[in-house]
Structure 1
Amino acid sequence: MALQINIDNGGTLTDVCIMSDGGVKKTKVLTTPYDLSKCFFEGLQKASEVVYGAADVKRLLEEVDLIRYSTTQGTNAICERKGPKLGLILDSGSTTLPAALKAHDPEVFEALVGDRVSFIDLAKLDAPEAEVEVVKVINQLAARGANRLVIALGGAGFLEAEERVKKIVLRKYPRHLLGAVPVLYTSDLTSDRNPGRRAWSALINSFLHPSMEAFLYNAENRLREFRTKNPLLIFRNDGDASRVAKTVAIKTYSSGPRGGMEGVKAFSALYGFRDAVSIDVGGTTTDIGQCTDGKVAEIRRGHVEGISVSFPLCEIMSAGAGGSSIFKVKDGKIAIGPESVGALPGPACFGRGGKEATITDASLLAGLFDPASYFGGGMGLDLARAEAAVRSNIAEPLGVDLDTAILAMSDAFEAKIAEELHRFTRIGPDTVMLAFGGAGPLNACGVAEKAGIRRVAVPAMAAVFSAYGIGSCDVSQGYAATLEDRSTAGLATALDALKRKAARDMFAEGFEEGSYVVSARLVTETPEGEKVFPLGDKPEFPAALASASTVELELTAVKSLRQDETRHVGFPRKAEAKADGQRKVLVVDKGRIELPVYRLASMAPGDHAAGPAILEEDYFTARVPAGWGFVVSEAGDIILERED
């Protein structure tokens, strides 16, 4: 296997997974939200220490074959509503569209757009006053505080109308001028004729674009200085990757969680799990997905925060509850998130200035963490600061003692994730829950109990599972065009145009024609749902589509890098596991009692034990409650089951 480095950038921690002939290794660094390139290169430095025993980034980047990157920054930005102020320009015939867009999610629309909406009379675009009309609308939005603009014109001729506006904007606001407001046209992203989906796609893309662009190009330029062999590959939310210059910002939304779902697919195949739900608990969010019969749910018109967009997306739901989510008391009850303390200042126990209460602080105070070994021993934890945060934010407002507050926080956290599991997935008697992410295994059994799940799997690579999951992705490019000429000749012309685009873009990715696979299909939407017509080597336009309202031609070019998992392993019980020590832990109805601590590194396949206990690895901790038992599988993963 070539030397590969996979980096998954989260809101609090950035995970690094190193794959080579010597096996799979991992490390982590704190995310630096003020400059993501800093934690990116700190991750590479720690990776070089793992590979060579001493820091040598220059050597690592000379020898590495692939660097893949995924991120939850887009997910976190939408979840926390942090980003630029957008202005939306519509045509005068779409006066009802803002209300329709807002109806999808009032909070997100208010955060992204608010009242910064203006209208253009399309009839004036062909008149002498066209320039005046466009300039007037742009100035109105700029005066209301918009620092990025989205132009979403409606009607059958939206492509041509947006092109006319684009020419005027380039003349009146040339890009070389300081202070020129960035403008995105919906037709630059998609040919989707649904105005709501198209507008939301462009709004979300514009909202995410600045931070993604600034970081990714900065990181790519720094990599070039080291003369890396291959360009940085961005893992996308469709499960494949592409170069920075060939990736749009909306495709980075939920790309980190999608990496986790790729891992879930491989893990389910390895163990023969037919129905697996997953909780990927990071610092800011818990990402929830489901894999049934080896397939992850993906739809052609995906959803961002429940909002329908024009692009295919894996069905992953992000709940605003993670290891760094802020706990507070509202109306006498504990409320969690969606605000997060992130990596800076981080949970109060990190000692970086944080004063809010988090589940990380509560878990430390409960005795679940060893301050000396947390984060692989690379970060000391401050009990006094954690106690101050929980007392002032939770215990005192609730009028309870510290231990009661700690248990209430844990119960509320588990209940919230279990509730989101039920809201988003279908849970049956054979459902297995995969728990991963830095905070995923910690309360996994408690979440499972509240959700009615009896089996939990914790991968050995749980702490960097999303980074691990992106390690097998392909490089691809996708294209779509509305088919106007509904004949075999018209289809051939449109298909040829998309193939030329694919050849150009795949060459830019580093692949010659013939080294990748091209596939195409026709898609139409009917009252009964979507209908798909795959196209073979000699495509003909299907007569059945002649009267369809719209027909889209979709083409995909894929350079395969995946290696399918063919092994099947089990988890037979062999020997009683030996504890590595004991720890005093706060337990419901029992107070603080001594519990055995089992280190994953000290156990062999087949080792098993019963709860209550603590399971520990360098970068994750799992509580095993009474009534649960665990066994180490033949592949070194952990399977936990309810035993009564």
Structure 2
Amino acid sequence: MAFQINIDNGGTLTDVCIMSDGGVQKTKVLTTPYDLSKCFFEGLQKASEVVYGAADVKRLLEEVDLIRYSTTQGTNAICERKGPKLGLVLDTASNALPAALRAHDPEVYDALVGGRVAFIDTATLSSDAAEVDVVKVINQLTATGANRLVVCFGGNDFHAAEDRVKKIALRKYPRHLLGAVPVLYASDLTSDRDPDRRAWSALINSFLHPSMEAFLYNAENRLRAYRTKNPLLIFRNDGDASRVAKTVAIKTYSSGPRGGMEGVKTFSALYGFRDTVSIDVGGTTTDIGQCTEGRVAEIRRGHVEGISVSFPLCEIISAGAGGSSIFRVVDGKITIGPESVGALPGPACFGRGGKEATITDASLLSGLFDPVSYFGGGMGLDMARAEAAVMANIAGPLGVDLDTALNAMSDAFEAKVAEELHRFTTISSDTVMMAFGGAGPLNACGVAEKAGIRRVAVPAMAAVFSAYGIGSCDVSQRYAVSLDGRDDVSLQAAIATLTTKATRDMFAEGFEPGSYAIATQLVAQTATGEVSHPLTEGAGFPAALADARAVELELSAIKSLRQGETRHVGISRRSAAKAAGQRKVLVPGQGRIDLPVYQLGQMGAGDFAKGPAILEEDYFTCRVPAGWGFVVSDAGDVILDREA
């Protein structure tokens, strides 16, 4: 029996989705931030228990066809500003660049770089003084606390100038020395001629690189010990995957949320939704996206925290509000995040030493969670610790009782997510909101109500939806190089060089020439902006781009694994759903009252009910307020509608 395993690593929980001929199965484990390879293999162990009924990782890895991995670690690191201290080396002609970079986002710039900036006169790099200048700059930055350096020069010959610095640095600080500081040269990462984008791309990549590299190579090495036949594939923000050695850190930014958006595209096609906004609520962030007419927003020069970078990225916004985000009272008002308690210590109710108040604690105390069945029955929750955290951090500072504080926390959380939805998406009367992630369905109706949305869709696989979404991604390698010659010979020579690289890299992915598609295009900087020009096989250099300020050749090698979705899923009410029990829940304006609890696993297609109620699945809970009703679709998903 062959399997595909998709793993989505979040800040608090790691989701595992197992796909086989027999269907789709899922499980979750707590993220271990001190060693991500630990939760990676714990996820594989639980997956083997789900598949075989007992732990047998060796057998699972012998039978698995593909292992795909996505992560929100990069998103969380940027959001929480947790990473190495960077030093930035610029040329003296770019003395205005630090101010320009900081203007994009002062908070992110100060967290990554701050005052750790030094300059080199590129005119001296060919002289005897070059070594002294380079050594002086490196020593200056490391003395101020920089533990990674980024070199980014301007001008038309920035690549050559950075190469000269690289040779000196390698000679004076050989990589085999223990004290050698890692240096990233921006031209090695991208040939983008825009200095702002190139510098920010290099800074963000350097910031994310250490933690991603340490985990991914550790995980890959442990997989080799089991003689896994295929390499670990890393899902990227561009929607495709590749092996670890051919993935740059910046492309893993928001790769987990991008997996969710792949699922949103498929889900929207199944149900005929033309305009879908999504909230993917994890432990640290709520990731927001939009799918219109079957397409997710992706731009060639993507954004990280609103900062333009050199690579194509999906337009996903990460708001610092999740199930483990810290609630505080500041100046008499509740604030949420961006700091998170993560998986360790986690929310106070996890009983792992956490003392901060989170929406998870508030939901438990409001009666939304069953402390026994939470997390599929795999984690008991501590109500006393949760109450102590909410009383100390919210009720006490506000001067209110516990129930008032709980309602205020829920209202603040919903309002913040609704505000972020309006900030980053366009909402119309036809908009459907998809809610997924472990905490996505919980307050989905409240968020939708505050955002003016009347329909909410909760996939049956909501708890592991990002892991589910990466299951059909393609395997690809993408390249870009500056094209100096504006003639047919130069163009064909550059295509031949990149094709050779692609052939080698795709062979390492396990694909022979002819089994994948090659696509090329030219991207030119013109007086009117950036222009893309697709190329056909054997095409010459287009005359229309002869006078462009700069031209890049892009080549993609893509092994297609996606399958088009042609089914349509029906939604119809057939029979009233039967409640599995009751639970006393805090309801705004009504106090604590008994509400029916519906178990998704016990309902069939067409079952329906009205709120107020609780809808549960092993790994998610959905509050159905008064004025809302739900129906189970033919595919087992949940569609919630607000009554007129």
**Counterpart in the other structure of 1:596:** 596
Q: Does 1:557 align with 2:557?
A: yes
How far apart in 2 are the matches of 1:429 and 1:157? 52
SS of residue in 1 equivalent to 2:93: coil
SS of residue in 1 equivalent to 2:349: helix
SS of residue in 2 equivalent to 1:70: strand
Q: Does 1:392 align with 2:399?
A: no
Shift of 1:123: 0.9
Shift of 1:22: 0.8
Shift of 1:523: 1.3
Output aligned runs, 1:530-549, within 5 Å. 530-549=530-549
Q: Does 1:350 align with 2:385?
A: no
**Counterpart in the other structure of 1:135:** 135
**Counterpart in the other structure of 1:103:** 103
SS of residue in 2 equivalent to 1:126: coil
How far apart in 2 are the matches of 1:232 and 1:589? 51
**Counterpart in the other structure of 1:203:** 203
Q: Does 1:439 align with 2:439?
A: yes
**Counterpart in the other structure of 1:570:** 570
Q: Does 1:116 align with 2:116?
A: yes
Question: What are the Cα deviations for residues 319-356 of structure 1, in whole angstroms up to 9, with x where unaligned?
Answer: 00000000000000000000000000000000000000
Instruction: Confirm or deny: 8 A CA contact 2:526 2:550 kept in the other structure.
Output: no
Output aligned runs, 1:260-299, within 5 Å. 260-299=260-299
**Counterpart in the other structure of 2:520:** 520
How far apart in 2 are the matches of 1:325 and 1:543? 54
How far apart in 1 are the matches of 2:487 and 2:15? 50
Count of residues in Structure 1 that have an aligned counterpart in Structure 2 = 644
How far apart in 2 are the matches of 1:379 and 1:598? 21
Output aligned runs, 1:371-520, within 5 Å. 371-520=371-520
Shift of 1:408: 0.2
**Counterpart in the other structure of 1:641:** 641
**Counterpart in the other structure of 1:68:** 68
Shift of 1:367: 0.3
How far apart in 2 are the matches of 1:597 and 1:623? 10
How far apart in 2 are the matches of 1:4 and 1:536? 35
How far apart in 2 are the matches of 1:548 and 1:577? 64
Instruction: Confirm or deny: 8 A CA contact 2:17 2:27 kept in the other structure.
Output: yes
Instruction: Confirm or deny: 8 A CA contact 2:135 2:172 kept in the other structure.
Output: yes
Output aligned runs, 1:41-56, within 5 Å. 41-56=41-56
The residue identity in structure 2 corresponding to 1:470 is: I
The residue identity in structure 2 corresponding to 1:446 is: G
How far apart in 2 are the matches of 1:312 and 1:221? 30
Instruction: Confirm or deny: 8 A CA contact 2:74 2:254 kept in the other structure.
Output: yes
Question: What are the Cα deviations for residues 27-83 of structure 1, in whole angstroms up to 9, with x where unaligned?
Answer: 000000000000000000000000000000011111111000000000000000000
How far apart in 2 are the matches of 1:174 and 1:489? 39
Instruction: Confirm or deny: 8 A CA contact 2:286 2:319 kept in the other structure.
Output: yes
How far apart in 2 are the matches of 1:547 and 1:150? 32
Instruction: Confirm or deny: 8 A CA contact 2:434 2:458 kept in the other structure.
Output: yes
SS of residue in 1 equivalent to 2:575: coil
Residues 442 and 309 (structure 1 numbering): CA distance in 2 closer, same or farther, change over 3 Å?
Answer: same
Which 10-residue stretch deviates more, 538-547 or 23-32?
Answer: 538-547
**Counterpart in the other structure of 2:215:** 215
SS of residue in 2 equivalent to 1:551: strand
Question: What are the Cα deviations for residues 453-497 of structure 1, in whole angstroms up to 9, with x where unaligned?
Answer: 000000000000000000000100001111111112221111111
Question: What are the Cα deviations for residues 219-258 of structure 1, in whole angstroms up to 9, with x where unaligned?
Answer: 0000000000100000001000000000011111100000
Instruction: Confirm or deny: 8 A CA contact 2:125 2:165 kept in the other structure.
Output: yes
Question: Which sections of structure 1, spanning at least 5 residues, go unmatched?
Answer: none
SS of residue in 1 equivalent to 2:125: helix
SS of residue in 2 equivalent to 1:93: helix
Shift of 1:2: 3.9
How far apart in 2 are the matches of 1:600 and 1:435? 15
The residue identity in structure 1 corresponding to 2:278 is: S
Shift of 1:310: 0.3
The residue identity in structure 1 corresponding to 2:357 is: A
Q: Does 1:147 align with 2:144?
A: no
The residue identity in structure 2 corresponding to 1:363 is: S
How far apart in 2 are the matches of 1:556 and 1:59? 35
**Counterpart in the other structure of 1:184:** 184
How far apart in 1 are the matches of 2:580 and 2:233? 41
Question: What are the Cα deviations for residues 569-606 of structure 1, in whole angstroms up to 9, with x where unaligned?
Answer: 11111111111011010001100011000000010000
**Counterpart in the other structure of 1:247:** 247
The residue identity in structure 2 corresponding to 1:533 is: H
Question: What are the Cα deviations for residues 82-125 of structure 1, in whole angstroms up to 9, with x where unaligned?
Answer: 00010000001000000000001111111111110000011110
Shift of 1:525: 3.2
TM-score, length of structure 1 as denominator length: 0.99
Q: Does 1:27 align with 2:32?
A: no
How far apart in 1 are the matches of 2:528 and 2:45? 54
The residue identity in structure 2 corresponding to 1:366 is: S
Shift of 1:532: 1.6
SS of residue in 1 equivalent to 2:408: helix
Question: Which sections of structure 2, spanning at least 5 residues, go unmatched?
Answer: none
Instruction: Confirm or deny: 8 A CA contact 2:2 2:63 kept in the other structure.
Output: no
How far apart in 1 are the matches of 2:324 and 2:267? 27
Identity level (%): 82
How far apart in 2 are the matches of 1:506 and 1:127? 42
Residues 349 and 144 (structure 1 numbering): CA distance in 2 closer, same or farther, change over 3 Å?
Answer: same
How far apart in 1 are the matches of 2:187 and 2:46? 42
The residue identity in structure 1 corresponding to 2:346 is: G
How far apart in 1 are the matches of 2:105 and 2:372? 44
**Counterpart in the other structure of 2:340:** 340
SS of residue in 1 equivalent to 2:94: coil
Shift of 1:542: 1.1
The residue identity in structure 1 corresponding to 2:73 is: Q
**Counterpart in the other structure of 1:301:** 301
Instruction: Confirm or deny: 8 A CA contact 2:5 2:17 kept in the other structure.
Output: yes
TM-score, length of structure 2 as denominator length: 0.99
Shift of 1:527: 4.8
How far apart in 2 are the matches of 1:524 and 1:418? 39
How far apart in 2 are the matches of 1:2 and 1:299? 36
